[in-house]
Structure 1
Amino acid sequence: MITVDRPSPARRPLLAAAACAGLAALVWLAWPSVDPVDLPSAPTAAGAAGASTVTGPGSRPRVLPVPGSSEPVDPARMFDLGVAGDLRVDLETKTALDLIVAELGDNPSAEALAKLERSLRGGLPREAAEQVLAMVQSYRGYTQALARSTALQRPPQTPEEMRQLLAQDAALRRQHFDAATSNALFGVQEAYSRYTLDAQAIESDPRLSAVEKARQIHALRAALPGEVAELEPALSPKASELALRIAELRERGGTEAQVQALRTQYMGSDAASSIGEMDAQNAQWAERHQAFRQQRDALLATSPADPQAAVEQLMAQHFSAEELPGARAYDQQAKR
């Protein structure tokens, strides 16, 4: 029997890392402006220098290797068991599968596969070991199929193309896993991806006012599975409510001092001060980009011989060498 488990608070840091890795294809999308309330804590180090222990509701702690460490971890210890010895499947199970499949490589030897089987059968109850072995086989098939599919696709250029790609990937997962297992392994990151695209569509809709955008994004966040808000504190109900109240306050003509007071009420003075400084820096950056854009449009209107070189030279006059990569990314996003 496989138990689909909800993540415990102690396991959130690993959830966040796994979800971020799964969303690498979405980095070109702008994340909506939010007021974060807190940040994930660091994983708790286990007694072994090369492993972190994640204690869930099961009968024993799960142990996963620390990134960058050469300390080996018994594959059987990477899986969580319930009090009855049943296998618990969640996003961290996906992390364990990623590690095992990466260790096996594309063409594992019979010896490597036999070693893995001995470890799992020796460290897990019989039924749980059978389930993990089957899951490893399915996961290997899935990752190989995903690699073949990715090799034939061009990178998505629009949000709609990204939606189509996410749908294709979800369909591919369903070919290799039953619905419950697929949802346990990938459901959180799929919900996170959908939210990112939906929020971006709202943010980029010129027909909506700032407060209308905030209200619609607040509704999106309220509909998210609890696991998503747990792995990303900026999507928590408290952070979402604060973002909405700030938008409403600004629509009524509230001052920045009133905004800061509201942040302080929700977050405390230190966090509110940090966010206020970030807001000021973002506003300054937007003003600098606006000045550059106005001069760029005037420059391009003169039809220079090499428009790209002329724009690059102008950008270098507005931004330092260290700022140029960020300025280019900001400019690309502003064009969408």
Structure 2
Amino acid sequence: MSKFFSLSLVAVAVAGGLTLYWRWPAAVPEVLPAAAVVVPSRQSSTERLSLPAAKAPAEAQSSITATLPSLADTEVDGQLRTDAAGNLVLDLALRDYFDYFLSAVDHSGLDTVIEALLADAHQRLTEPALGQMIGLLGDYLDYKRASMALMQQPLEARQQVDPQAQLQALQSAFARMDELRRAHFSAAAQEALFGAEQAYARYTLDSLALQQRDDLGEAQRTQMLEQLRARLPDALRESEQRQQLALEQLQHSEQLWRDGADEQQVREFLAMTYDPDTVQRLLDEQRHERDWQQHYQAYRNELASLQGRGLSEADGEQLQRQLRERLFSSEDRHRVETYDAIAAKQPEPLDP
């Protein structure tokens, strides 16, 4: 999936990428609601047969990787499709196509990425679909710029440690993201590009809200979770069920470790569900996680020993920062800070 643009590229998104957008013919403003939405032209046929757009020649991928080296040894993700009248079909594959190119922004810069995307699209589409795609690309770039600013808003201290405050923050972010998409896209385009993502996000938030309710018994909570799951689209529901099963199996394997099982016993349990390569990967991940937790606990023990010296609050905070920097990599420090924030709210030392 795509990366969010870095702050240094926001100005480029406006001055560079969107300039390219405004130089192309305007997109036809309305789209028809459908599972795969078609952007109509002024002389659109009533027939809605969806056809794959003409494929780019083999050398097109070489041209992409020559311009965008970070995409070397990859294939273009997503797909551009047109209907029988040559109008662009809006679906998730189109968003994947945009995101494939935009994933190279950090490495190559937005101007270069947009040039490569347009060059590739020219080999796949003709008018009216080409102009419609470029119009939508401009909207998508504008949306990505705005969503980046939204996603980079930091959590307040309370939201980092209070589950209810975290849920409220997530619900607020979801509502604002929904408003943002409605502001940049038609209802049909929003559903085609983001509908599945929004459905699953809504399901996740509603599930978290149910988990926090203390007025429900376990049977009631399970029944209501099943009702939420039943509202998901079929493909999402099946995917969620597979994820839930996988989560339960991993939780069971972790319980085996806690109960004193050896690696061979855990391996045999995981092998009932997963292929050998996946079993080995899961065992490696669990081993790494156990090592990390032991490392964190050793850090907490050393921190407690140092803080017992009667240091001032400022000196204690400085010592804690120095200890984090000495014992953990920069990639791990955010996780350590989160654990420490939770530990500060606990009456007893945190057992991660």
TM-score (norm 2): 0.52
How far 1:138 moved relative to its partner? 3.8
Residue in structure 2 matching 1:161, options 163, 169, 173:
169
Aligned pair in 2 of structure 1 residues 95, 276: CA closer, same or farther (>3 Å)? closer
Residue in structure 2 matching 1:286, options 268, 293, 314:
293
Q: Which amino acid counterpart does residue 52 of structure 2 have in structure 1?
A: S
Match of 1:14 in 2: none
Instruction: Give CA-to-partner distance per residue, 1:312-335, whole Å, 9 cap, x none.
Output: 444466x3xxx4224422212323
Match of 2:330 in 1: 325
Aligned pair in 2 of structure 1 residues 262, 201: CA closer, same or farther (>3 Å)? farther
Contact 2:147 2:177 in 1 (8 A): yes
Q: Considering Cα pairs closer than 8 Å and 6+ residues apart, tell me whether 1 or 2 has the greater RCO.
A: 1
Residue 245 of structure 2 corresponds to residue 241 of structure 1:
yes
Residue 299 of structure 2 corresponds to residue 302 of structure 1:
no
How far 1:282 moved relative to its partner? 1.0
Query: Aligned Cα RMSD in Å?
Result: 5.1
Residues of 1 paired with 2:142 and 2:280: CA distance?
A: 50
TM-score (norm 1): 0.54
Aligned pair in 2 of structure 1 residues 245, 162: CA closer, same or farther (>3 Å)? closer
Instruction: Give percent identity, aligned residues only.
Output: 22
Residues of 2 paired with 1:120 and 1:59: CA distance?
A: 14
Residue in structure 2 matching 1:186, options 186, 191, 194:
194
Matches within 5 A, 1:74-223: 79-82=80-83, 85-97=86-98, 123-126=125-128, 128-129=129-130, 131-132=132-133, 134-136=135-137, 138-139=139-140, 142-143=143-144, 146=147, 150=150, 154-157=153-156, 158=159, 159=166, 160-191=168-199
Residues of 1 paired with 2:232 and 2:175: CA distance?
A: 18
Residues of 2 paired with 1:122 and 1:286: CA distance?
A: 51
Contact 2:54 2:125 in 1 (8 A): no
Contact 1:91 1:186 in 2 (8 A): yes
User: Gapped runs of 5+ residues in structure 1?
Assistant: 1-16, 25-56, 72-76
Residues of 2 paired with 1:201 and 1:181: CA distance?
A: 29
Aligned pair in 2 of structure 1 residues 136, 245: CA closer, same or farther (>3 Å)? closer
Contact 1:62 1:78 in 2 (8 A): no
Residues of 2 paired with 1:62 and 1:122: CA distance?
A: 5
User: Gapped runs of 5+ residues in structure 2?
Assistant: 7-49, 69-77, 160-165, 343-352
Secondary structure of the 1:155 match is coil
Aligned pair in 2 of structure 1 residues 88, 251: CA closer, same or farther (>3 Å)? same
Instruction: Give CA-to-partner distance per residue, 1:99-123, whole Å, 9 cap, x none.
Output: 59x8996xx9xxx9xxx7xx87994
Contact 1:62 1:80 in 2 (8 A): no
Residues of 2 paired with 1:183 and 1:70: CA distance?
A: 32
Residues of 1 paired with 2:203 and 2:5: CA distance?
A: 11
Residues of 1 paired with 2:110 and 2:322: CA distance?
A: 49
Residues of 1 paired with 2:298 and 2:124: CA distance?
A: 66
Instruction: Give CA-to-partner distance per residue, 1:146-173, whole Å, 9 cap, x none.
Output: 57x659x843443333432332121121
Residues of 1 paired with 2:55 and 2:171: CA distance?
A: 34
Residues of 1 paired with 2:236 and 2:61: CA distance?
A: 23
Which protein has the larger Cα radius of gyration, Structure 1 or Structure 2? 2
Secondary structure of the 1:132 match is helix
How many aligned positions are there?
253
Residues of 2 paired with 1:226 and 1:170: CA distance?
A: 22
Residues of 2 paired with 1:201 and 1:259: CA distance?
A: 33
